[in-house]
Structure 1
Amino acid sequence: MLPSPPDIETRVFARVPEELQAEERPSRWLDQLGRVLGRTARMGSFLEGPSFDRDGNLYLVDLAHGRIFRVSPDAEWSVVADYDGQPNGLKIHRDGRIIVTDQQNGLVEIDPVNGKVTPFLPADLIHGYKGVNDLFFAENGDCYFTDQGQMTGLQDWAGRVMRYTPAGRLEVVLDKVPSPNGLVMNLAETTLHVAVTQMNAVWRVPFLDEKAVKVGVFTYLMAGIGPDGLALDTEDNLAIAHPGNGQVWLFDPHAVPIARLVSCAGKLPTNVAYGGPDNKQLFITESETGTVLVADLPVPGKPMYSHM
């Protein structure tokens, strides 16, 4: 048995303002979700993809309604883009461009100034496309992303992890993954961690000469929907958003749990990102209530690609 880790308190940083709630707005993504759940699904927002720019602004996606939000350090909300899409993951490039994994359109690029949306890697260029989910930029500019789709799971091991290089080369790193989701590399960038939602596990994907080898399980989680977003700190500890039971786990590099962050809002923490003073706060998108939570941690997060 693994030891029970100490709890770290969370608090509310910001909530989607009432005027930005879009519960009555049509949503193809919510219609698809409703068919899976067997009931009507209506939400004013569904937050995902937290990422900070160099000015301390927090960018978020609204998967349900095709919007990109910006939240200032003072928790003021604005809409950067509102378009026909299903944005899920979001990372900021070194040159300031916002790159989004859009389940409907593939990877898109968003101008943070004028909100213009343009293709980065369109869906029709991704052979066997299912629906991209999340992304991660390695230090050399390689873009790793998950092609999850709505239906991959233990009945359909068709999800994939892919790599798109700055030279424009697209590669399948790993296939036959039941619902791949969030992903992040270790500090040495020799191993990729991948949240495999429907297996309720995080996989470890080591590389040898850019090829995945000896892929195994980093950790299994108990209960909940399964892991979603991931983030890393400067000591190689891994933060794992675990929706369905309102928790974020912190594991050391040997997969020993060292802390548990319990949501003070709803039960759907979907993704995580480090930010705040000294990069020692973990920000959490809690999608059931449209809330961003924050917790103080003793170890700073690894700087994002945009800050390197």
Structure 2
Amino acid sequence: MKKGALLGTLILVFTLLAATFTGAKALYETKSVPTGDRHNISEIISPSSKWEKVISGGNGRFMEGINFDRKGNIWLVSPMTSEILTIKNDQVVKVLQDQQNLMPIGAKFHKDGRLFITDGKGVLYSYNPTTGKLKTIINSYDGKPLKGLNDLVFDKNGGLYFTEPMGSSATNPTGRVFYLAPGAKEAKLFSENIAYPNGIAISADGNRVYISEFNKNQIISVPSATAPASPEAAFVFGRFEGGIGPDGLTVDAEGNLYVAHFQAGEIVVLDKDGFKYGTIRLPQDAGTFVTNLTFRDGYLYVTESSKNEIWRIKVETKGLQPYWLQ
């Protein structure tokens, strides 16, 4: 090897090592040990805050995928009835129903106004509320059909993460998560060997992807596709007791993670380091099938799918600005 080439290689190696060291220092920097409890749920909700029932969606549905459009209208999906739904004049209104092909489970708005939908039959769709058109975005990976999809989230650049849990379980952890880069036509495999990857969210700084490992009752954190070089690897971010597992996720502006704990009838709140504030338990007359959640105007909105109801509660924190409002 020529001297100039060797020198260039050494400079590159030292640069990479310096960048890694800087990342490691930031990652493993020590913090003050708290003298008392780290958190209390009163930091998230006032003791005087009460749950309010927003609406009941009727029998037969399994309402989830709650979203707000730019006008403040609530949008939902129901896989059991193959419906895309919205709320008008305090009534749940069917926008689209396709009982032959549609099994919508997750939904998120793109900032161009389209509603992206994950389907339990293995298709990522976009729905245009203006034209009423449903379009297939992705239905395969590496030349093979995708298995059933569940949830999705956009990053700040418009890249899309989506989960593929169908067929996986605690004893068969074959679930996968994919990433569709902005403008890309093919998805890339982001993470695999997960026991039913359900809900998904992105940390406030964009460097972590939180994945609900539903059938192991835990949240895992994976460095995002756009995270800078760092020694951080995928790790267990939070574990839970009771219920079945974590479903939908959302993040507030301070980086706290809100977890819809399915079959537990509660929301679990963790800080950005994975320490728990506590739980926000739904009222006694609500069901325990807590599926999805989102923020709007100082409230945390939650779907409970056994009784097909939407509940909300006033919170002290502000939701992280979603991609569609950026």
**Structure 2 length-normalised TM:** 0.80
- Judging changes above 3 Å, is the alpha-carbon distance between structure 1 residues 195 and 70 closer, same or farther for their aligned structure 2 residues? same
Following TM superposition, by how much is the alpha carbon of 1:195 offset from its aligned partner in structure 2, in angstroms?
Answer: 0.6
8 A contact 2:218–2:240 mirrored in 1: yes
Following TM superposition, by how much is the alpha carbon of 1:117 offset from its aligned partner in structure 2, in angstroms?
Answer: 1.5
8 A contact 1:15–1:291 mirrored in 2: yes
8 A contact 2:121–2:147 mirrored in 1: no
Following TM superposition, by how much is the alpha carbon of 1:289 offset from its aligned partner in structure 2, in angstroms?
Answer: 0.2
For 1:155, which of 147, 171, 175 is the aligned residue?
171
For these two proteins, the number of residue pairs brought into alignment is 278
Matched, 1:256 2:272: no
- Judging changes above 3 Å, is the alpha-carbon distance between structure 1 residues 212 and 96 closer, same or farther for their aligned structure 2 residues? farther
Deviations 1:112-153 (A, max 9, x none): 13432111112477736221110000011110011111x311
Matches within 5 A, 1:1-308: 5=41, 9-16=50-57, 18=58, 21=59, 44-72=60-88, 75-83=90-98, 84-123=101-140, 127=144, 129-149=146-166, 151-168=167-184, 169-207=186-224, 208=227, 214-264=233-283, 265-275=286-296, 277=297, 280-308=298-326
Q: Distance in 1 between matches of 2:76 and 2:173?
A: 29
Q: Distance in 1 between matches of 2:218 and 2:239?
A: 4
Following TM superposition, by how much is the alpha carbon of 1:260 offset from its aligned partner in structure 2, in angstroms?
Answer: 2.0
Deviations 1:5-50 (A, max 9, x none): 457632211111x4xx4xxxxxxxxxxxxxxxxxxxxxx1001111
Following TM superposition, by how much is the alpha carbon of 1:303 offset from its aligned partner in structure 2, in angstroms?
Answer: 1.5
8 A contact 2:105–2:151 mirrored in 1: yes
Residue 198 of structure 1 aligns to a residue whose secondary structure is helix
Q: Distance in 2 between matches of 1:143 and 1:124?
A: 15
Following TM superposition, by how much is the alpha carbon of 1:262 offset from its aligned partner in structure 2, in angstroms?
Answer: 1.4
Residue 9 of structure 1 aligns to a residue whose secondary structure is coil
Greater C-alpha radius of gyration: 2
Residue type of the alignment partner of 1:286: E
- Judging changes above 3 Å, is the alpha-carbon distance between structure 1 residues 97 and 224 closer, same or farther for their aligned structure 2 residues? same
Deviations 1:248-299 (A, max 9, x none): 1111112222242212210111010111x2xx21110100100001011001
- Judging changes above 3 Å, is the alpha-carbon distance between structure 1 residues 102 and 255 closer, same or farther for their aligned structure 2 residues? same
- Structure 1 stretches lacking a partner, 5+ long: 22-43
8 A contact 2:179–2:187 mirrored in 1: yes
Match of 1:38 in 2: none
8 A contact 1:274–1:301 mirrored in 2: yes
8 A contact 1:80–1:113 mirrored in 2: no
Identity %: 27
Q: Distance in 2 between matches of 1:258 and 1:282?
A: 16
- Judging changes above 3 Å, is the alpha-carbon distance between structure 1 residues 126 and 165 closer, same or farther for their aligned structure 2 residues? farther
Q: Distance in 2 between matches of 1:165 and 1:301?
A: 24
8 A contact 2:139–2:145 mirrored in 1: no
**Structure 1 length-normalised TM:** 0.84
Q: Which moved more, 1:110-119 or 1:96-105?
A: 110-119
Match of 1:36 in 2: none
Q: Which moved more, 1:169-178 or 1:189-198?
A: 169-178
- Judging changes above 3 Å, is the alpha-carbon distance between structure 1 residues 126 and 104 closer, same or farther for their aligned structure 2 residues? farther
- Judging changes above 3 Å, is the alpha-carbon distance between structure 1 residues 3 and 213 closer, same or farther for their aligned structure 2 residues? closer
